[in-house]
Amino acid sequence: MNEILTWLLDVVQSVDPILRTLLAGIAMLLETSVLVGLIVPGDTVVIVASTAVDGPAQFVALIAAVVIGSLAGETIGFALGRYFGPRIRASRLGQKIGVRQWQRAENYLDRRGGIAVFVSRFLPVLHSLIPLTVGMSTMTYRRFISWTIPACLLWSVAYVSVGSAAAGTYRQLADQLHYAGYIFVGIIAGFLLIAYVVKLVLKRSQERHMNHPDESDTNAADAD
């Protein structure tokens, strides 16, 4: 396994650092843009790119690129929501998302405001719908971006740190332990599991703010 993993990491590291960093930023721009985030795996691209980080300068540069790309995508989503929101929602792709998902995003934003913007960055589906939904609301761009920046920064530092730490640990142990590859996989898998649990906890804790009042009443009645 070590030979295969070493080859894969070397392939990623052979890509020009500037190009690698730009590709990660573009991937995040696409992921956080309106609805594109439903099909572009930005988190996978960032983890792969982070395995090739070599030194503090590349580490900081990659985080900066990911944050800037994320903010650019969120800004595009906001602008499209402000000027074309209803059309996008009524489009074929918008209808494929489903009325319920759009309504949940609206409910969540109405009830939680800036907190919804921050938390949605860590939730599937909503992280693509909220920027567009904010654009269709009365929330100002200044308030939107003030909640988005810390969320994007936290997300970026977490993913880049784990990818670079896993690769760095592997390279240090590869010549000493024949199972070093499993340690690398374990670090990545452990992080993804923690991320999944965090998303699940956040989703469940915020669920009542997304549902229609009637749904909440029905759920409460069912529980009784």
Task: Indicate whether 37 belongs to any domain.
Answer: yes
- When mean pLDDT is compared across 9-18, 47-56, 84-93, the lowest value belongs to 84-93
pLDDT for 221: 39
Q: Is the pLDDT of residue 107 over 80?
A: yes
Instruction: Give the helix/strand (H/E) hosting 121.
Output: none
pLDDT average, residue stretch 29-42: 70
By C-alpha distance, which of 81, 86, 69 is closest to 23?
Answer: 69
Whether 224 is covered by a domain: the verdict is no
Q: How many domains does the chain have?
A: 1
Q: Quote the CA–CA distance of 126 and 24 in Å, as a whole number.
A: 21
217 part of a folded domain? no
- 197 within some domain: yes
Model confidence pLDDT, tens digit, residues 200-219 = 999 899 888 888 665 544 44
Q: Does a structural domain hold residue 221?
A: no
What range defines the domain where residue 95 resides?
2-212
pTM of the model: 0.85
DSSP category for residue 39: T
Over residues 51-79, mean pLDDT: 94
